[in-house]
Chains A and B, each alone.
Chain A
């Protein structure tokens, strides 16, 4: 199990970054204002 999670770790980083970017895009669409 530990080996599997270690192998997956770099991909988790990529996945989390993708998730974060998706969240930010959605937020910026919801509130596009700068003021």
Chain B
């Protein structure tokens, strides 16, 4: 294949570092820059502010790579938990301390009576293929003690229109500069292909975790409705490490009266109650699997 097809590949090293071995992927953009504190993001804008956080000052503090997370210090002696997921994990419309990842980390920290670092690699709008890329790149560098993945809707895909740049494709958002591409994405979608992609990304994460000797647990933001019956799903992906309770149903479909109105500031994402419930369930599942028990004993 002639080399000119790959002209500009060096741009990936400068701009995004996607799939680049030994490097952390960069997600900083003009709207969510690296090493900054911003008050609003594209999905959580002043015009949409409502609910319990309507007048709350929410800060999105990003690290040097653009993630809403702390800086990575490989020399740190503390236990580290790495979280990967979509906007639910990033905590759109929520103060950082109310995101399920913070709830889980705090609970584990209290149970172990030792400092535990949360490394949040959640990023809005992205799909499971993006998560597996993040795990593949970050795991060998960060070397966390545990990995937690909250998978998202199976239809989402990441597209690289040119070297160093990514475009998140999801059903409801039509990018201004790529409506035809979005239409093509919708045309190509099929439930079967989505499930095969989920199996592929899940297996890649499992392989990366095994290779690096890091235990991992997972769940999906919509819970069991995202996959075929568990017995069938288990034929394709590992399920013994699946967090035993799914992310709570919130909004109009919720059975609990309080969860019906449990929304983040943007009026769409899950609010504090569902985040707290899932955070605690995750922590309890992790602790029940003996996380940190060896050292304690």
Do A and B come together as binding partners? yes
Chain A residues with CB under 8 A of B156: 31
User: In the complex, A14 Cα to B156 Cα: how many Å?
Assistant: 27
Q: Is the CB of B189 within 8 A of A34?
A: no
- The docked-state distance in angstroms from the alpha carbon of A24 to that of B170 is 11
CA distance A31 to B43 in the complex (A): 15
- Please, which residue of chain A has its CB at the minimum distance from the CB of B226? A30
- The CA-CA distance from A19 to B174 in the complex, in Å, is 20
Docked-complex contact A31 and B155, CB < 8 angstroms: yes
CA distance A23 to B191 in the complex (A): 10
Please give, as numbers and ranges, the residues of chain B lying within 8 Å of A34 by CB-CB distance.
Answer: 43, 125, 170, 172-173
Closest to A30 in B: B153
- In the complex, are the beta carbons of B92 and A24 less than 8 A apart? no
User: Chain A at the B interface: mostly helix, strand, loop or mixed?
Assistant: helix
Interface residues on B, range: 20 to 34
B185-225 interface code vs A (CB 8 A; 1 in, 0 out): 01101000000000000000000000000000000001000
Shortest Cβ distance from B266 into A: residue: A35
Interface bits A7-35 vs B (CB < 8 Å: 1, else 0) = 00000000000001001100110111111
Which one of B41, B42, B172, B187 lies within 8 Å of A31 (CB-CB)? B172
Whether B124 is near chain A, meaning CB under 8 Å from some CB there, is: yes
Given A20-B186, A34-B43, A35-B125, 18 new contacts (CB under 8 A): A23-B186, A23-B189, A27-B155, A27-B171, A27-B189, A28-B171, A28-B172, A30-B171, A31-B156, A32-B172, A33-B43, A33-B86, A33-B125, A33-B268, A34-B125, A35-B42, A35-B43, A35-B92
Question: Which residues of B approach A to under 8 Å, CB–CB?
Answer: 41-43, 86-87, 92, 124-125, 152-153, 155-156, 170-173, 186-187, 189, 222, 268-269
* 28 CB < 8 A contacts A-B: A20-B187, A23-B189, A24-B171, A27-B171, A27-B186, A28-B172, A30-B153, A30-B155, A30-B171, A30-B222, A31-B152, A31-B153, A31-B155, A32-B172, A32-B268, A33-B86, A33-B125, A33-B268, A34-B43, A34-B125, A34-B170, A34-B173, A35-B42, A35-B43, A35-B87, A35-B92, A35-B124, A35-B173
